[in-house]
Amino acid sequence: MDDFVAWLRARRLAPEHRIWHLARWVDRFLRLSQVRPDEAWQDTLRIFLEDLGEGRTPAWQIRQAADAVSLYCGQFRQAEKEPGNTQQQTAEAPFDRALSLAEMRRILRLRHYSPRTQRSYMGWANRYVRYLGGKRFSPPTSEDAKAFLSHLVTRGKVSASTQNQAFSALLFLHRHVLHADLGDMSATVRARRGQKLPVVLSVEEVRAVLAELSGKSRIMIELIYGGGLRLSDLVQLRVKDIDFDAATITIRSGKGDKDRVTLLPRRTLPALRKHLQDVRTLHERDLACGAGEAPLPNALRRKYPNAGREWAWQFVFPSSKLATDSETTAIRRWHVAPATVQKAMKAAVRRARISKPASPHTLRHSFATHMLMKGVDIRRIQDLLGHRSVETTMVYTHVLAGLAPPVRSPLDEL
């Protein structure tokens, strides 16, 4: 960096009081480029400036950073280094744990992974780095990944699904952050996952569970069962996504970042209308006290600054408490916590004296199975559930034998 500073001074490209500011921007850029060795500096610069913008850096500082990096990469390094030397020096750079994890978090957000997936992947990446040891200076290799996955099975005794989740996180880290292929992982000790059948409640058991619920809890449970919703679909549901006339619910950015349309059970319409009236009254009270702005996905808040205060964007099931947004410091009312629905379901199952380990997701399984029992086409059920493949939906055909009426011989019907 001293050579770059001297180069700026010799050519009088910046005033003296600005030279060290330019050098600091270049230093921050180079730390980011260490975890992106195969990328052109122009692409890394674009990402670097986007990160500065998300951090609410003033526009004049962003322009200053862009000028500094352009001078360093476009002129200073161009004259003194061959194209192959940069890759060689980058390969010899020490492995920076903090920068690699920060880059992984940024790429996960860039690829629109769900918040739960981001937390899960970052958790496995942190465990992986701790397993390698804090004093490691060289980047992890495929052998390190194999050893960690084998350790999870042999020592950690994790389930097959847990190990597969860890494998996906490590694959993402090596492929998109370290820019290294894991290669052949066949030698890794992998836990085998057998065929598992979902827990399904009978129609009578669902009726017994609903009888133990009332108010908002009953509406939420009825929507999960009546529309085959995931728990995340329910809590993130907004007013604009409910169509009372068509009796449909539109799920926005569900699992896999996909939209779908499912059923709105007509039995819930009166109670749901009354519930939304209470929510609207609460929203108007929040607006009166300077709150009431719902969080918007992605960059919609910048594109439509007032949309978060509109009734259509409010959560159908808002939280009972106001909270401060950590990014904007605005006071918002978020959606109800998933644990609230889970606790209500658990209490209702206990009061109904059902011995099955039923959760809100069990009602989604029950929805699909009961639709099959009524003769609904499996392709239609696949669309309602939002499954990518029909093979995933086919699992419900294996639980029909325990719920459907017994098959009678045609001779008995003569």
212 or 36, higher pLDDT: 212
Please determine, for residue 193, whether its predicted confidence score (pLDDT) is greater than 70: no
pLDDT of res. 34: 78
Residues 204-239 as b/e (b if ≥16 CB within 10 A, e otherwise) read ebbebbbebbeebbbbbbbbbbbbbbbbbbbbbbbb
* Residue 234, C-beta contacts closer than 8 angstroms, at least 6 positions apart: 220, 223, 224, 317, 341, 360
Q: Tokens representing 354?
A: 């059902």
CA 43 to chain centre: 25
Quote the pTM value. 0.68
* Residue 90, C-beta contacts closer than 8 angstroms, at least 6 positions apart: 33, 34, 37
Please determine, for residue 116, whether its predicted confidence score (pLDDT) is greater than 70: yes
Please determine, for residue 80, whether its predicted confidence score (pLDDT) is greater than 60: no
Q: pLDDT digit string (tens) for 66-78?
A: 878 877 876 677 6
- For the chain, give the secondary structure using H, E and C: CHHHHHHHHHHCCCCHHHHHHHHHHHHHHHHHHCCCCCCCHHHHHHHHHHHHHHCCCCHHHHHHHHHHHHHHHHHHHHHHCCHHHHHHHHHCCCCCHHHHHHHHHHHHHHCCCCHHHHHHHHHHHHHHHHHHCCCCCCCCCHHHHHHHHHHHHHCCCCCHHHHHHHHHHHHHHHHHHCCCCCCCCCCCCCCCCCCCCCCCCCHHHHHHHHHCCCHHHHHHHHHHHHHCCCHHHHHCCEHHHEECCCCEEEECCCCCCCCEEEECCHHHHHHHHHHHHHHHHHHHHHHHCCCCCCCCCCCHHHHCCCHHHCHHHCECCECCCCEECCCCCCEECCECCHHHHHHHHHHHHHHCCCCCCCCHHHHHHHHHHHHHHCCCCHHHHHHHHCCCCHHHHHHHHHHHHHCCCCCCCHHHHC
CA distances from 141 to 97, 116, 217 (A): 14, 27, 49
Mean of the per-residue pLDDT values for the chain? 82
Please determine, for residue 125, whether its predicted confidence score (pLDDT) is greater than 50: yes
pLDDT of res. 91: 40
Q: What residues pair up with 331 in beta bridges, in sequence order?
A: 324
pLDDT of res. 57: 76
361 labelled catalytic = yes
Among 238, 260, 335, 387, the one annotated catalytic: 387
Among 255, 275, 309, 346, the one annotated catalytic: 255
The yes or no reply on domain 97-177 and CATH 3.30.70.330 is: no
370 labelled catalytic = no
**Domain ranges in the chain?**
2-91, 97-177
Please determine, for residue 410, whether its predicted confidence score (pLDDT) is greater than 80: no
Mean pLDDT of the 207-234 span? 95
pLDDT of res. 236: 93
255 labelled catalytic = yes
Please determine, for residue 58, whether its predicted confidence score (pLDDT) is greater than 90: no
Q: Tokens representing 321?
A: 């408490």
pLDDT of res. 83: 45
**Do 238 and 246 meet the contact criterion of CB atoms below 8 Å apart?**
no
Please determine, for residue 186, whether its predicted confidence score (pLDDT) is greater than 60: no
Mean pLDDT of the 304-325 span? 88
Among 146, 216, 230, 332, the one annotated catalytic: 230
Mean pLDDT of the 294-323 span? 85
112 labelled catalytic = no
Among 146, 216, 218, 364, the one annotated catalytic: 364
CA 202 to chain centre: 32
31 labelled catalytic = no
Q: What residues pair up with 251 in beta bridges, in sequence order?
A: 260
364 labelled catalytic = yes
Mean pLDDT of the 405-409 span? 63
How many residues comprise the chain?
A: 414
Please determine, for residue 296, whether its predicted confidence score (pLDDT) is greater than 80: yes
Please determine, for residue 207, whether its predicted confidence score (pLDDT) is greater than 90: yes
Please determine, for residue 12, whether its predicted confidence score (pLDDT) is greater than 90: no
Confidence of residue 227 (pLDDT cuts 50, 70, 90): very high
Please determine, for residue 185, whether its predicted confidence score (pLDDT) is greater than 70: no
Q: Token pair 């465990």 is at which residue?
A: 127
* Residue 286, C-beta contacts closer than 8 angstroms, at least 6 positions apart: 292, 322, 333
pLDDT of res. 157: 81
Please determine, for residue 20, whether its predicted confidence score (pLDDT) is greater than 90: no
